[in-house]
Structure 1
């Protein structure tokens, strides 16, 4: 079995081919292409997220003539090899694609050729062809892999990369100098093959690797073997020229201290990075990051930027390196802002100068001038982008770039893309067109929300609604079992990048601090805080105990106060404004029997909201209230004694409560958690940004609860 033989041959890459799985796909070249692509995409040492493309050529029937024709299936524009499906492929007639050479007039016509690919499309329902299509189409091989492995790019980005490639592979790997992907590069790949018959692959300067085979398996093995050879060569040479990255300049803080510092500074960094649009952050203190940012060569290498276009597009021209002591006391926010302001101003000016120096007459307008990658020596790496996934992937790409720099420096000298070439990629009109085709952001995209008590009931409904509208959420609860179930549900519905979880008892300062720090580390801060955690106790006044009273006021009033207090500290660091929503109750306004503790606590919550609105308006922090009533579905409040107490107060049974509450409303409606979630969304969705201190009743219409 090939699997048994080959697995032991690789130390630096993962051999994942399963003969039995592949045998099920025998005879279907496209299915084998997808299988191979998924295996390659599953190993980030082979290619990064969304990077690279694969193809196969096979015979298919022409739907018009019924004759067999050669068709190329290639990964279409966008997408990721690890999750590639048939719908993510573009299918083109090979002969028609080749015929485009007859109309190609030269490199100045590059962008026009992309539209002409449409004349070669075989499957009209397939994905749009990418700019890399001719790179696969002009090579004659049945199966082709184009990847961006760190080990190969380290050689491709080395000053002596061409010489090293020739010596390492003894002429069996060709070399094509850096050139922006497109029709002309496809022709140069074919020229390289014609001039070097029998080669097994081509290294693209500063870019990546092309390898191939007559079958899906042979292409897969060839790809692994070439990358393994590159990786082993680097492993044997790292450290021979001297310490990695010139040796260590500073020591890292301890793990706990790194997290503490990162959580403290993240909201400030996010605020600066969000000067043009709201950004979501990511933090990592990966060992590879620390080795680089703590080194003597950081100051030389970081400004150079990346080499591979995929790395560059995700991470920008260069990172911002913070000139702060790792162990600086970050509690003095005013001093810290004074230090950060000039750093960001300098970066923005650098980026504006880069744009002005490199722009063409038809270049798109300058984009966000803020950094994507921020390096804090001794602490770690922060990345900021439009959503969590993009920020996380940007960090992963920069780690790829670090790996490349480390390898290049070990065997030669690292070289990055020239700034003009980098600009031509970043502000490529085709790239701009791709950006313009992207779906419009959802209303809460770029927003971070913490909803207390969000593992069930109203809180979970709010968290779900916000996540559906594009926000990332910090799901929390004081019930560990309930929180675990909510985690599974959110992971299944929204994926790992949409949320984090925190065990939170709103009466516990440490829990509150930890929950906000979890949000700071995961996303960079917070924009929306919903005080929803609650409980109810319904008893006649003579049966109320001190314990009952203290519990109600600790959770409802003090809990709301403390969570808001912590929230304000983060919101002020960001200096982006924000929303605080308090889920109160119609009982804050309506008097009823057996309700002295709960009703008075709700009244305190309502007035506390007014007081906070009055105080925080200068910070553009809006404070508003949603007053629900009788939300029974999935609510712990309605379990046990509370429901029994309310039923007793109204002289009915517990089973009759839902109908009783609905009938007493003007609209005769049962109120659901989703109704409260919709009301919260009304406040934070962007249409009420100039409203604060308001109360929105969601109770079906209870006249006694009218505010005015």
Structure 2
């Protein structure tokens, strides 16, 4: 079979169009020119192949699957040639993996571990022995799947979790279908937790079926191989393509998909509106142990499943593939709300869904207590990860946005698997005990314990008004650096786009969302908060930073100037706080409101009637809100900066000219002028204000509200006391 794959490799490499046209259900991404540059470096070709496979979510999801290659290398101790296996290390992702993400082991040492193997009851002790087989001491930690590659003789091996293959592997007649579909060229190994023994079983399957091109793992995934990176890649795509085509050929032949629809979806605008109303309430329930970040999707595949007759039969069964299960939990929670349910009465909705969460947590506790072993780790958070709202969509909640998003992707994979298995046979899920053995595996627990501690603002969502530049952007950047998800916004679209690009480079797509927000426009305020909810599940920190400055004498001030200052600084702060607090109350676990005010709220000066009085109103509004919101555990504090010129938008529109004229200096001399009049004689930067904001929300001042923190270099007339 290996020679046949090689022939295919040579044949298809002659014409790229042939390969592209050959595949309908997977993406053929191999580029001969790119691969030619890597010729002779098997490890580089392994990384290249892995990245191509990881780029197609139909083949494997984020963090799922593993790949390997074997080649000869010089032993650094003896100088002799030794066979070495490079395999994806623990915790890596195929789509983004680099050479540093591989573990490199001596093949002979790994295979000699068979003499140390004491049976399946002692499976976990073998993992520690992998370290004694390391060839490259700087390489990644070997994963539990290492022996699955090590005992197979092929130079290049792929182990993936494609939906199409798992649908067959997770069906009642999976072994029979595999035999008939591939006419004996794909072997079968029944479900077993990954480990040393499974590696031995794969080798035994190959020995019993010489010449096969791959092995299907019951309920789990697929192994395929080849003697070159390209042959392996092509073999993998061909096998998955055949599985997918088989499912398509049978789709709908047994009747409507998932038994047909029994719930009608709302229109997309209606779905998003319902999701935005409900997500903060769900986030509150799901955060009863740990603060969670949310994700929402109304993908058509999700809607087809959650609207179906078979939803209540299939959803409680849970998933089959362990990679799916580890990210989606034992089963989802199905909400008992009508698609057009009136969600405006938070109290009523909480009363309606509280029993669902009580029942889910009890189910999870029973699952733990019934399946636990004497040495099992303590029970983890009993709240659901996946929540299904028929007619609307799917919510997922996890410790951070990426984990929540990936959980949604994996549950969509699970839906695909259920659909395919039901089309060709009947879906079977992982038995509860097997699922528990995966979820509470001591090796998985050890991996969790090795993860870095959460940052101070992990699990928090912050909306910072006017965050496309100056103080606002510095605050947003500081919060993101400390683990928060942030909502970037500004009333200047071009400025906002620059900030969006900067944050994408710094933090990636999962740490922020961005949209236009004008604090004088109630519609854009509502849109910004809806964006925060749909992107992250709610909001925890509101920073009222948007502002402008007008410096004029009393006589020169116009009514328009006055209205603009009060609309932006006072009414804007009021409206943003009002909307944000409503969301915090829905969530039920408190929050923070930070108001960026000014030393001008306390210090009188010339040519400052409108701006100074508006800042004073902002400061007193902060006190009033602190007094009112304490019962909700919502803290309201103020930061009083002064003369933050760098990147600040308030210095446009004549303010700098006005202040320079007032003080008898040039615009260029303003920073030095302001610094010299302070006690510390320091120039105040946006980052200084950002650090003050973090001081309030970073965890050390959780019992502080109604306070003012000055960041002005020390101005005695601005002292509060």
Q: Which residue of structure 2 aligns with residue 37 of structure 1?
A: 50
Q: Which residue of structure 1 aligns with residue 94 of structure 2?
A: 81
User: How far apart in 2 are the matches of 1:442 and 1:610?
Assistant: 29
Quote the offset at 1:3 in angstroms: 2.5
Unaligned runs of 5+ in 2: 1-13
Residue 481 of structure 2 corresponds to residue 468 of structure 1: yes
Residue 229 of structure 2 corresponds to residue 230 of structure 1: no
2:312 equivalent among 261, 283, 299: 299
2:59 equivalent among 40, 43, 46: 46
Quote the offset at 1:272 in angstroms: 0.4
Q: Which residue of structure 2 aligns with residue 144 of structure 1?
A: 157
Q: Which residue of structure 2 aligns with residue 241 of structure 1?
A: 254
1:16 equivalent among 23, 29, 35: 29
User: How far apart in 2 are the matches of 1:260 and 1:560?
Assistant: 24
Residue 622 of structure 2 corresponds to residue 622 of structure 1: no
Residue 585 of structure 2 corresponds to residue 572 of structure 1: yes
Query: 1:347-496 counterparts in 2 under 5 A?
Result: 347-496=360-509
2:555 is paired with a residue of what secondary structure?
Answer: helix
Quote the offset at 1:471 in angstroms: 0.3
Q: Deviations over 1:428-474 (max 9, x none)?
A: 00000000000010000000000000000100000000000000001
Q: Which residue of structure 2 aligns with residue 201 of structure 1?
A: 214
Quote the offset at 1:170 in angstroms: 0.3
2:374 is paired with a residue of what secondary structure?
Answer: coil
Q: Deviations over 1:9-28 (max 9, x none)?
A: 10000000011111111110
Q: CA RMSD in A?
A: 0.5
1:8 is paired with a residue of what secondary structure?
Answer: helix
Q: Which residue of structure 1 aligns with residue 80 of structure 2?
A: 67
Residue 550 of structure 2 corresponds to residue 537 of structure 1: yes
- What count of residue pairs does the alignment treat as equivalent? 708
User: How far apart in 1 are the matches of 2:17 and 2:97?
Assistant: 26
Normalising to structure 1: TM-score of the pair? 1.00
Query: 1:677-696 counterparts in 2 under 5 A?
Result: 677-696=690-709
User: How far apart in 1 are the matches of 2:225 and 2:669?
Assistant: 71
Quote the offset at 1:4 in angstroms: 3.0
Q: Deviations over 1:405-435 (max 9, x none)?
A: 0000000000000000000000000000000
Quote the offset at 1:7 in angstroms: 1.4
Q: Which residue of structure 1 aligns with residue 264 of structure 2?
A: 251
1:553 is paired with a residue of what secondary structure?
Answer: helix
Q: Deviations over 1:157-193 (max 9, x none)?
A: 0000000000000000000000000000000000000
Q: Deviations over 1:323-382 (max 9, x none)?
A: 110100110111101012111111101101100000000000000000000000000000
User: How far apart in 2 are the matches of 1:644 and 1:117?
Assistant: 69
2:543 is paired with a residue of what secondary structure?
Answer: strand
Residue 342 of structure 2 corresponds to residue 329 of structure 1: yes
Q: Deviations over 1:4-56 (max 9, x none)?
A: 32111100000000111111111100000001000000001011110000000
Asked whether the 8 Å contact 1:478–1:504 carries over to 2, the reply is yes
Q: Which residue of structure 2 aligns with residue 312 of structure 1?
A: 325
User: How far apart in 1 are the matches of 2:390 and 2:565?
Assistant: 46
Q: Which residue of structure 1 aligns with residue 177 of structure 2?
A: 164
Asked whether the 8 Å contact 1:150–1:404 carries over to 2, the reply is yes
User: How far apart in 2 are the matches of 1:664 and 1:534?
Assistant: 24
Quote the offset at 1:507 in angstroms: 0.6
Residue 202 of structure 2 corresponds to residue 189 of structure 1: yes
Query: 1:632-643 counterparts in 2 under 5 A?
Result: 632-643=645-656
Quote the offset at 1:648 in angstroms: 1.1
Q: Which residue of structure 1 aligns with residue 594 of structure 2?
A: 581
User: How far apart in 2 are the matches of 1:507 and 1:26?
Assistant: 61
User: How far apart in 2 are the matches of 1:340 and 1:508?
Assistant: 34
User: How far apart in 1 are the matches of 2:626 and 2:581?
Assistant: 12
Unaligned runs of 5+ in 1: none
Q: Which residue of structure 1 aligns with residue 684 of structure 2?
A: 671
2:201 is paired with a residue of what secondary structure?
Answer: helix
Q: Deviations over 1:580-608 (max 9, x none)?
A: 00000000000000000000000000000
Quote the offset at 1:502 in angstroms: 1.5
Deviating more after overlay: 41-50 vs 3-12: 3-12
Residue 147 of structure 2 corresponds to residue 134 of structure 1: yes
1:605 is paired with a residue of what secondary structure?
Answer: helix
Asked whether the 8 Å contact 1:2–1:19 carries over to 2, the reply is no
User: How far apart in 1 are the matches of 2:30 and 2:270?
Assistant: 42
Quote the offset at 1:639 in angstroms: 2.0
1:542 is paired with a residue of what secondary structure?
Answer: coil
Q: Which residue of structure 1 aligns with residue 5 of structure 2?
A: none
Q: Deviations over 1:77-114 (max 9, x none)?
A: 01100011000000000000010000101001110000
1:561 equivalent among 551, 574, 577: 574
User: How far apart in 1 are the matches of 2:291 and 2:320?
Assistant: 28
Q: Which residue of structure 1 aligns with residue 714 of structure 2?
A: 701
Asked whether the 8 Å contact 1:442–1:469 carries over to 2, the reply is yes
Quote the offset at 1:2 in angstroms: 4.6
Asked whether the 8 Å contact 1:487–1:501 carries over to 2, the reply is yes
User: How far apart in 1 are the matches of 2:426 and 2:562?
Assistant: 70
Q: Deviations over 1:183-219 (max 9, x none)?
A: 0000000000000001000000000000000000000
Runs of 4+ in 1 over 4 A off after TM superposition: none
1:579 is paired with a residue of what secondary structure?
Answer: strand
Quote the offset at 1:640 in angstroms: 4.0
1:35 is paired with a residue of what secondary structure?
Answer: helix
2:95 is paired with a residue of what secondary structure?
Answer: helix
Q: Deviations over 1:576-634 (max 9, x none)?
A: 10000000000000000000000000000000000000000000000000000000000
User: How far apart in 2 are the matches of 1:99 and 1:79?
Assistant: 26
1:290 equivalent among 279, 282, 303: 303
User: How far apart in 2 are the matches of 1:409 and 1:43?
Assistant: 24
Normalising to structure 2: TM-score of the pair? 0.98
User: How far apart in 1 are the matches of 2:67 and 2:439?
Assistant: 23
Q: Deviations over 1:486-512 (max 9, x none)?
A: 111111110000000111000111000
Residue 671 of structure 2 corresponds to residue 658 of structure 1: yes
Q: Which residue of structure 2 aligns with residue 505 of structure 1?
A: 518
